[in-house]
Amino acid sequence: MKTISLDGAMVPLAEGQTVMECALAANIPIPHLCYLPGFAPHGSCRLCTVKIDGRFASACTQPAMEGQHVEIDTEELRQVRLSLLRMLFVEGNHYCPACEKSGSCRLQKAAYDEGMLDLHYRPWYPNRQMDASHPDVLIDRDRCIFCELCVKASRDVDGKNIFGISGRGIDTRLVVNSKSGLLADTDISAQDRAVEVCPVGAILVKGRGFEVPIGKRLYD
């Protein structure tokens, strides 16, 4: 049987698996945001950064290979993850107490898990265009982390192809495939996988107000 070393533990690997898949199968946690089983790995958030034989790589995109030594839970990598989370927080507006997604937000959970206690960097306070045009679904772009899960889910699962990514650098933005650029002019529905799959509070279902009590939310 082929094996791979994850923080010293010898873990079996199957043909075609990524490092992330090996780790998940062996119940060894690697923090991640843009990766979601069932969707093609993306490798954009870099939270799953590990060191493979001394080199940085994103576990979700890296093919697992016999004999690799993978470092996951080291001080150096914890610092990298912490910095990446802080970067995601400062480039957007993530006010957890006022966010409907709080308690069920993967960014928030990752920050708690990694022990993030401050922003460290100066916050940018972006003011990106909000889209409240649709009766049931809302986009708050200031919370988007560009994981593209909604893009893939809408295209590949819902078959609607409603979302895309445009711009460059810090002007990267989530866009909507309609002539007006507004959600109202699409056939999105609150039940779409694209809505459900958003790891943060960027795509929200309207008409709800903190309906799950604190203590019973997904990550409480």
Partner 1 sequence: MTLAWDKKMACAAEHADLLIERMGNNPLQILIATQKAFNHVSDDAICRVASALGLPLSRILGDVEFYSFLSREPLGTYSVLMSDSITDWMLGSRELFLRLCGNLGVSPRVMRHDGLATVGKTSCTGMCDQGPALLVNGTAVANLSDDRIDAISRLMEKRIPLAAWPDEYFHVESNIRRRDWLFQDWRGPILEGEALLQEMTDAGLRGRGGAGYPTAKKWASCRDAPGGERHVVCNADEGEPGTFKDRVLLQHCAGRLFEGMALCARIIKAKKGFLYVRGEYRYLEAHLEALLAARRDADFEIELHWGAGAYICGEESALLESIEGKRGIPRVRPPFPVTFGVHGMPTVVDNVETFCAAAAIAAGGGREFRSLGTAESCGTKLLSVSGDCARPGIYEYSFGVSVDRILEDCGAGNVLAVQVGGAAGNCLDASEFGRKICFEDLPTSGSVMVFDRSRDMREAALNFSRFFAHESCGFCTPCRVGTEILAQAMEGISAGRGSGEDIAEIGNLGSILRASHCGLGQSANRAVLDMLRKFPEHFERGVN
For position 79 contacting partner 1 by CB under 8 A, the verdict is yes
Measured distance CA(200)–CA(45) in Å, rounded: 13
Report the alpha-carbon distance of residue 113 to residue 105 in Å, rounded: 12
- Closest by CA to 173, choosing from 153, 154, 145, is 145
- Closer to partner 1 by Cβ: residue 123 or 207: 123
- Integer Cα distance of 124 and 132 in angstroms: 23
Q: Out of 31, 43, 199, 201, point to the residue binding partner 1 (CB under 8 A).
A: 43
Does residue number 90 form part of the binding site for partner 1 (CB under 8 A)? Answer: yes
Q: Give the start-end residues of each E strand in the chain.
A: 3-6, 9-12, 49-52, 55-58, 69-71, 130-131, 137-140, 163-166, 173-176, 203-205
49 or 68, CB closer to partner 1?
A: 49
Q: Please report whether residue 126 would count as binding partner 1 according to CB under 8 A.
A: no
Q: Which is nearer to partner 1, 56 or 210 (CB)?
A: 56
| 41 is a contact residue toward partner 1 (CB under 8 A) | yes
Binding site for partner 1 (CB under 8 A): 41, 43-47, 49, 56, 58, 61, 63, 76, 79-80, 83-84, 87-88, 90-91, 121-122, 145-146, 161, 163-173, 175-179
